[in-house]
Amino acid sequence: MTGKLFLIPTPLSQCDLDWIIPVAVRQSVQKLQFFIVEHPKTARRFLKQIECKSPIQDIHMEILNEHTPANELETLLQPLLAGHDVGLLSEAGCPAIADPGSNLVRLAHNKQIRIIPFTGPSSILLALMASGLNGQRFCFHGYLPIDNSARTQAITALEKISGKHDQTQIFIETPYRNQKLLELIIQICRDDTDLCIAACLTATNEIIDTKTVKEWKQELPDINKIPTIFLLQSKPLQVTT
């Protein structure tokens, strides 16, 4: 019998686990001895925080990150095929959501391995919930192009799509480029387009604010080097005949 693959969310910030990770989830994770992680140092810190039953030095960890070759995924599943339960840990938030892991999960399905997703924080969903923007129709795009011209075209296209389909557009950026992205959005988007900035989610200095582009122009927050989710929703385009 194969083991089960548990998808384990981890904190988005340094905060009280009671607020974000259910007790039942922590108790289940405490029993595991095999983990697939993005960064062992961060994973060890989290396992200590939840008071893992086994000594940290006795826990088996394998690394899965954006540099892991596809041909190594089979090896990562070997403990599961040998009957051991394994936890897939995100670096922050939910595994396989804007995070390495989806290809491993898909391969596990091919091997008839049972997948068990645990409840925990997702920065994308938390931001959408708190934005006041359309939660019925939305699309997450991950990272926008780095090239300024391509990025400008991408933002313009997302604004048009949002207006056409009444759809919230969600995207992220590497923290040290957040401020420049924000400034570009404000520069090229329509004044009546809504923009939500959700930064430092679950932290004591959390920022979640939705304003029109025109309102943001009056004063921009400093989000340089701060983890941020951007949510954009434009008004329906007026069709003239």
- pTM, two decimal places: 0.91
| Residue in 131, 187, 188 with CA at minimum distance from that of residue 157 | 188
DSSP state of 186: H
Q: Domain 123-233 - what CATH class?
A: alpha beta
pLDDT digits (tens, 9 = 90+) for 198-214: 999 999 999 999 999 99
Res 238: pLDDT: 64
* C-alpha closest to that of 56 among 40, 72, 70: 40
Asked whether this chain's domains 4-117 and 123-233 adopt the same fold, the reply is: no
Asked if 108 and 102 count as a contact pair (C-beta separation under 8 A), the reply is: no
Percent of the chain exceeding pLDDT 70 equals 98
Q: Tell me the residue type at 149.
A: S
The whole-angstrom separation of Cα 203 and Cα 55 is 29
Note the pLDDT of residue 239.
54
Task: Supply the pLDDT for residue 105.
Answer: 97
Element (H, E) at 76: helix 73-76
Name the residue ranges covered by the structural domains of the chain.
4-117, 123-233
Give the 3-state secondary structure of 28-49. Answer: HHHCCCEEEECCHHHHHHHHHH
Residue 166, pLDDT score: 95
Is the pLDDT at 221 greater than 80, yes or no?
yes
Task: Please state the separation of Cα 71 from the chain's center in Å.
Answer: 25
Which pLDDT does position 64 carry in this prediction?
96
**What are the tens digits of pLDDT across the range 96-141?**
998 889 999 999 999 999 999 999 999 999 999 999 999 999 999 9
**222: pLDDT confidence band, cut at 50, 70 and 90?**
very high
For the cut 80, the answer to whether the pLDDT of residue 236 exceeds it is yes
Is residue 73 over pLDDT 90?
yes
Q: Does domain 4-117 have CATH number 3.40.190.10?
A: no
Q: What are phi and psi of 33, to 5 degrees?
A: -120, -5
pLDDT in tens, 31-54: 999 999 999 999 999 999 999 988
